[in-house]
Chain A
Amino acid sequence: MIELVDTNAGGIAAEFVASRLRSGSPAMSMVLTLVIVVDEDGAQDAMRAARRASHEHPARVLGVILGHARGKSRINAQVGTGDGWTGETALIRLEGEVVHHAESVVLPLLLPDSPVAIWWPSDPPEDPAADPLGRLAQRRITDAATATRGKGRAIHRQCSTYSAGNTDLAWTRITPWRALLAAALDQQPLKVTGGSVTAERISPSAELLVAWLSDRLKVHIDRSGSSGPGITEVRLDTSEGPIVISRRDGRLATFSSPDRPDRPVALKRRELPELLAEELRRLDEDDVYAVTAHKLMKLHLS
């Protein structure tokens, strides 16, 4: 890691090339730029998660820490390659007036042509697609579950300002549930007449799962509370009896379906790097999330 004090985008870009040459590998096959907008406290954790996700997606990772906007502009950066990263990384600290113009620092540092993803580990802007940094990216990743203010409504805010390319890790978290539920209906092609999702009282993932199920199945899905962790049970009612997946410990679930023996199935709550890696696997618009977000708003308003 090289510390650059009082630098600018050009200085950071030059250091990228210099450190690549130093490590003896002038060509790197990075596939995307990941911008992480984070505060000082969350920076280390976020960069660590990005590092593990970068194993699947070699990327240029730009951590952007927005400091106080008062006073003279100042840009400091830590730039490096290697050290467990598959691509390049810079942690850029902004202070002073430049905080309002962070995009001017990030824009010159984007990899040519490659896709750009941006991630707010917590408290994203109200409308990520309208944010000056968000506008640079085609994939905007938020995380309603980590909101520090108004947590109960965070996912509603994200869904109400949905625009193509937005996605939320609350949605990523339910992929294994959705996969298992879809597989359940592959195995037993039954008509679903109703259902329920049981989860912690505040769970953006549960809300999305309710919205997804009710949109796909065209039935009413109840939402009940439990002490968690996360989602603890999903039930689909059919004429033959219920299909139930229940998970008390956040790790191992029991899968029950009509006329079939109960079976254990691993359904572990996934860690941040895995979620991020899934999110970066596809960078085009997630149509299913779009429809689900829309449905969630309809359910919320009705």
Chain B
Amino acid sequence: MAYINPLRDPQDRRLPRIAGPCGMVLFGVSGDLSRKKVMPAIYDLANRGLLPPGFSLVGFARRDWANEDFAQVVHDAVKQHARTEFREEVWKQLAEGFRFVPGDFDDDTAFNTLRRTIEELDEVRGTGGNHAFYLAIPPGLFGNVVGQLKEHGLAQPAQGSWRRVVVEKPFGHDLESARELNATLASVFPSGSIFRIDHYLGKETVQNILAIRFANTMFEPIWNSHYVDHVQITMAEDIGIAGRAGYYDGIGAARDVIQNHLLQLMSLVAMEEPTAFDAESLRIEKLKLLQSVILPRRLDLTTARGQYVAGWQGGEKVVGFLEEDGVRKTSATETYAAITLHVANRRWAGVPFYLRTGKRLGRRVTEVAVVFKAAPHLPFTRAATEELTHNALVMRIQPDEGMTLRFGSKVPGTQMEIRDVNMDFAYGGSFTESSAEAYERLILDVLLGDPPLFPRHREVERSWQILDPVLDHWAKKGKPEAYESGTWGPPSADAMLSRDGRVWRRP
């Protein structure tokens, strides 16, 4: 008979789920991702009491470090980037579990040392043979590392324990490479043990999309082509490529953002109601939606791309993309991308979804705007409603998380004059202080083995299938259009919407 923990009670909702005994191995310890996100998130989890006693973190990199040096790196990263207050006792809980293994990814001795290190941790820290391998390294090296893990018996869990692998985007750069990448991972780990992190899905506000849609009565009835005119999904960054030329040049905005974040957001906004809020049901609905996504026939009229040139962004003089360090002077990589998508199902037929993303735009913002149709009849004079536009429901993902409802209201005064007003629901300026970072949530889910928020490989492949024709089309069309830094993108993006009689929101 299965053991039922007498101290657990489904009614007892104060008790958090704490990960079972386990450890994590981090490949690529000195990158931004590790220092700014992963290490701080681990500390924050420990601070909130969600990591098991004995949790251990092993760093693996080509550096001549001892355990203490690694601990110092983590310490600095935590001090600088952790969300919660630094507390000595939390640090003590973690510090005994830091290990460092120096070596190359093709160095057999190093992986032997890694195996012994893990065994030693199971012994002295009680990690119970449960380990997650976090690959914070370029995808080109995944094959090497998982191959080594397999060869040295690190990928194979003993009876009653688990081994998981965590990877970050990019999940390939087109359908073919995504399939190869998946084949590489799947040759070593079963699909349930592969966790792909799309950190957007860990954000509270993204999960809130599901709450807003499926916990309320008043939105779902109008969530269809009868009432919705179109949907705009925007992820704008104010920064440039910030030293990531090596990664970004040749990848571009569409591969970097649309393929993963924006298509995932779109699937959550547009999918049908899942039968339950669990991994399998969500995956089915998301995939179904992605499978009904179709591209317009004329890609030249329904997509736009741009490349930023020097200008002023937010009061600072900034250089253009081609002048950034490490970018080829002839680069045709786009830093702005906008595409039109349609959904071929009854709910959304005829409602275009406009997805756009770019660097060095007006300001940093991510939002989903559902724009409604105009009222079929207005019993007011034309003059009265001149300034009335479309109703809109905007879900703000970051920063300033919350929701805005835009609707017409009478301007106070004697005449009947109707104008748009905004009603704001803010998660609250400081409310977010206590809401967890996406990485905390996702790392905890990895350790708990709870996958609802991780895209599966079929979603990834389907997303590439959607995007590949656009990328091919662009590849044949020479260079992207220039746009000045600090503006909202190239003129062709505005032209793309005005052809449909619409305009981009200024977010």
Residues in B whose Cβ lies below 8 Å from that of A41: none
Question: Is B49 a contact of A180 with CB atoms below 8 Å?
Answer: yes
Distance A213 CA – B6 CA, assembled complex (angstroms): 9
B380 at the interface (CB under 8 A from A): no
Shortest CB-to-CB span from A193 to chain B, Å, is 12
Kindly state whether residue A220 has any CB partner on chain B within 8 Å.
no
- Out of B7, B88, B427, B434, which one reaches A181, CB within 8 Å? B7
Q: Output the least CB separation between B195 and chain A (Å).
A: 21
- How far apart sit A189 and B428, CA to CA, in the bound complex (Å)? 42
Distance in angstroms between the alpha carbons of A278 and B14 in the assembled complex: 8
B4-18 with Cβ < 8 A to chain A:
5-9, 11-16, 18
Cβ–Cβ < 8 Å partners of B433 in chain A: 55-56
Cβ-based interface call for A101 (8 A)? no
Query: With A56-B434, A58-B431 given, is the CB distance from A266 to B8 under 8 Å?
Result: no
Q: Which of A15-23, A89-97, A147-155, A255-263 is the contact stretch?
A: A255-263
Q: How far is the CA of A263 from the CA of B122 in the complex (A)?
A: 12
Interface residues of A, dominant DSSP:
mixed
Are A186 and B5 in contact, with the CB atoms below 8 A?
Answer: yes
Please determine whether A251 and B11 come into contact, CB atoms closer than 8 angstroms. Answer: no
**Contact A175:B87 (CB < 8 A) given known A217-B6, A261-B54:** no
Partner of A187, one of B11, B21, B89, B428: B21
A10 interface residue per 8 A CB criterion: no
- Chain B residues lying within 8 Å of A130, measured Cβ to Cβ, are none
**Known A-B contacts A266-B49, A288-B11; A86 and B430 likewise in contact (beta carbons under 8 Å):** yes
Residue of A nearest to B123 (CB): A261
Q: Could you give, for residues 187-222 of chain A, a 1 whenever the CB lies within 8 Å of some chain B CB and a 0 otherwise?
A: 101001000000000000000000001001110000
Interfacial residues of chain A within 143-184, with CB under 8 A of chain B in the complex: 172, 175-176, 178-183
A212 closest partner in B (C-beta): B7
Which of B16, B96, B428 sits near A86, CB closer than 8 Å? B428
Smallest distance from the beta carbon of B177 to chain A beta carbons, Å?
A: 40
Q: Determine whether B311 belongs to the interface, using a CB cutoff of 8 Å to chain A.
A: no
User: Within 8 Å of chain A (Cβ to Cβ): is B424?
Assistant: yes
How far does the alpha carbon of A287 sit from the alpha carbon of B433 in the complex, in Å? 29
Complex CA gap A264/B95 in Å reads 10
Min CB–CB distance B5 → chain A (angstroms): 5
Contact, CB under 8 Å: A287 / B53: no
Contacts of A213 in B (CB 8 A): 7
Say yes or no: B7 contacts A216, CB within 8 Å.
Answer: yes
Chain B min CB distance to A243 (Å): 11
Inter-chain contacts of B423 with A (CB < 8 A) = 27
Q: Is A265 an interface residue (CB 8 A)?
A: yes
B window 409-442: CB within 8 A of A: 423-431, 433-434
The interface centre, meaning the residue of A218, A257, A288 with most chain B CB atoms within 10 A of its CB, is A288
Which of B53, B126, B433: most chain A CB closer than 10 A? B53
Closest to B2 in A: A189
A55 touches B5 (CB 8 A): no
Q: How large is the interface on B (under 10, 10 to 19, 20 to 34, 35 or more residues)?
A: 35 or more
Does A272 sit at the interface, judged by CB under 8 A? Answer: no
Distance of A55 Cα from B47 Cα, bound (Å) = 18
Q: Do A255 and B6 form a contact, CB below 8 Å, given A86-B431, A179-B16? A: no
Say yes or no: is A299 at the interface (Cβ < 8 Å to chain B): no
A29-B425, A182-B7 as given contacts; A268 in contact with B87, CB under 8 Å: yes
B431 in contact with A183 (CB, 8 Å): no
B52 touches A187 (CB 8 A): yes
How many Å lie between the Cα of A213 and that of B427 in the bound state? 37
Interface residue B92 (Cβ < 8 Å from any Cβ of A): yes
Chain B CB within 10 A, most for which of A181, A216, A266, A287? A266
Bound CA span A176–B48, Å: 9
Q: Does B125 contact A (CB under 8 A)?
A: yes
Q: Which B residues from 139 to 184 make CB contacts under 8 A with A?
A: none
Of listed A182, A252, A267, A278, residue having the most chain B CB within 10 A:
A182
B81-132 interface with A by 8 A CB criterion? 87-90, 92-93, 96, 123-126, 128
**Quick check: is A277 within 8 A (CB to CB) of the other chain?**
yes
> B277 within 8 Å of A by Cβ?
no
Q: Does A288 contact B12, Cβ atoms closer than 8 Å?
A: yes
Distance in angstroms between the alpha carbons of A181 and B53 in the assembled complex = 11
A282 at the interface (CB under 8 A from B): yes
Q: Is A185 an interface residue (CB 8 A)?
A: yes
User: CB-CB contacts of A95-134 with B at 8 A, as 1s and 0s?
Assistant: 0000000000000000000000000000000000000000
Contact A252 B18 (CB under 8 A): no
Which residues from chain B contact A255 at a C-beta distance below 8 Å?
A: 53-54
Q: Chain A contacts of B52 at CB under 8 A?
A: 183, 187
Does B6 contact A187, Cβ atoms closer than 8 Å?
Answer: no
Q: How far is the CA of A172 from the CA of B15 in the complex (A)?
A: 11
Residue of A255, A277, A278 with most chain B CB atoms under a 10 A cut-off = A255
Cα distance A266–B50 when bound, in Å?
A: 11
Complex Cα gap A255–B49 (Å): 13
Residues of A within 8 A of B (CB): 27, 29, 55-56, 58, 86, 172, 175-176, 178-183, 185-187, 189, 192, 213, 216-218, 251-252, 255, 257, 260-261, 263-268, 277-278, 282, 286-288
Which positions in B face A, CB cutoff 8 Å?
Answer: 3, 5-9, 11-16, 18, 20-21, 46-47, 49, 52-54, 87-90, 92-93, 96, 123-126, 128, 402, 423-431, 433-434
Q: A175-B15, A264-B53, A288-B9 are in contact. List 17 more A-B contacts (CB 8 A).
A: A29-B425, A58-B428, A86-B431, A178-B7, A179-B49, A182-B7, A183-B18, A183-B52, A183-B53, A213-B7, A261-B126, A266-B49, A266-B89, A266-B90, A268-B87, A282-B14, A288-B12
5 A-B pairs within 8 Å (CB atoms) are namely A180-B18, A183-B18, A187-B128, A263-B54, A264-B96
- Nearest first, the 9 closest Cβ-Cβ pairs linking A and B are A189-B3, A252-B89, A182-B7, A263-B53, A266-B90, A183-B18, A265-B53, A255-B53, A260-B126
